[in-house]
Amino acid sequence: MEWFRSLMLPPQGSAFAAEVDALYMFLFWLSAVLFLGIAFAAIYFAIRYKYVPGRVTPHITHNTTLEIVWSVLPLLLCVVIFFWGLEGWMKYSVAPGESMEIQVTAKKWIWTFEYPDGSRTANDIHVPVGKPVKFIMTSEDVLHDFFVPDMRVKHDIVPGRYTEVWFTPTVLGPHHFTCAEYCGKGHSDMMGKLTVDNEADFKKWLETGGDDWKNYPPEVWGQMQREQKGCATCHSIDGTRGQGPSWKGIYGKMETMSDGKSYLVDDAYLQESMMQPNAKIVKGFEAIMPSFQGLLHPQDIRGLIAYIKTLK
């Protein structure tokens, strides 16, 4: 029934996924059998014991055998499900000692990740295939939830506390993750890409940040970064007002700040706004943008600026 499982669930991307799916499918088929059994029984009894004029229903006290069966069987099923789930939960909650640790910070509406060597990314994760990875997570504002469907991983991220989750990726290529706890207006945009690399590609990515950008013109790469880094959550490209200023027609324009001063929007201004967003706050907006210092590579900054220049 693998084809049926694949219709209901996303691809299995981790060693843990098959165990989760086995329990899920057991619960699904158990629920299906119980539903059909109860439905057919209800229909049968409705027909068999329908009202007949003159028929008197006999007085029934109890049936010991029936009462034992319908009490003990559900109890046994619940016990099996409990210990099956407990075994999976124990594996899920305790990461192997050799796991690579990635620090995760969630904030409306962006994910940031820090690797053991100090590398940092936004809304983008790279992990090596076949090696356990542990995520140590916290939130800077409200409750979030780290959800990676292909890995069968989902865990709350609580402000002021640290929570952990781990998995061993087994399938090379891109996967996606998202926030599964409503966290405000930009909740649906709080997502990113998880890429599983082989060992050589992972090491290269840590050293250089990858070279995918070479395959695209700067403005196209910048457009891609707008979506991947969460810029689209606050900055529109059609002139409509969002949490931050619209990018449409902003390049070359004089912007008035909250302190009354005005500045020309040029390359230097845009780069400063990405790295030190609270240095200059545009009039009418709040200082809510996180710093992308260390989260954007030079090619990302150049691409974003080139893309903004095209938005006339």
Q: Same fold for the domain at 2-49+62-93 and the one at 215-310?
A: no
Could you tell me the pLDDT band of residue 28, with boundaries at 50, 70 and 90?
very high
Provide the residue count of the chain. 312
Examine the pLDDT at 211 and tell me if it is beyond 70: no
What is the Cα–Cα distance from 19 to 84, expressed in whole angstroms?
Answer: 10
CATH architecture of 2-49+62-93: Orthogonal Bundle (1.10)
Residue 133: Cβ-neighbour burial (10 angstroms; 0-12, 13-18, 19+): buried
* pLDDT score at 232: 85
Strand 100-107 and strand 110-114: the pairing is antiparallel
Strand 191-197 and strand 153-157: the pairing is unpaired
- The strand pairing partners of 114, in sequence order, are 103, 120
* pLDDT score at 250: 92
Residue 178: Cβ-neighbour burial (10 angstroms; 0-12, 13-18, 19+): middle
Using CA atoms, how far residue 84 sits from 26, 89, 125, 207, 227, in Å, is 11, 9, 31, 42, 40
For 85-110, the pLDDT digits (tens) are 999 888 888 899 899 999 999 998 88
**The CATH fold of domain 100-212:** Immunoglobulin-like (2.60.40)
* pLDDT score at 224: 85
For 225-260, the pLDDT digits (tens) are 888 788 888 899 998 888 889 999 999 999 999 999
Could you tell me the pLDDT band of residue 76, with boundaries at 50, 70 and 90?
very high
Amino acid 59 reads H
Average pLDDT over residues 197-220: 83
Examine the pLDDT at 294 and tell me if it is beyond 90: no
Examine the pLDDT at 173 and tell me if it is beyond 80: yes
Average pLDDT, the chain: 90
For the chain, counts of helices (H) and of strands (E):
7, 12
Average pLDDT over residues 144-155: 95
What is the Cα–Cα distance from 119 to 127, expressed in whole angstroms?
Answer: 13
Query: What is the CATH class of 215-310?
Result: mainly alpha
Examine the pLDDT at 215 and tell me if it is beyond 90: no
For 176-198, the pLDDT digits (tens) are 999 999 999 889 989 999 999 99
Model-level pTM greater than 0.75?
no
Percentage of residues in the chain with pLDDT exceeding 70?
99
Counting Cα atoms < 13 Å in the Cβ hemisphere of 275 gives 13
Average pLDDT over residues 118-122: 83
- The strand pairing partners of 111, in sequence order, are 106
Q: Which of 226, 248, 250 is nearest to 300 (CA)?
A: 226
Examine the pLDDT at 30 and tell me if it is beyond 90: yes
* pLDDT score at 288: 83
Q: Where are the domains of the chain?
A: 2-49+62-93, 100-212, 215-310
* pLDDT score at 204: 87
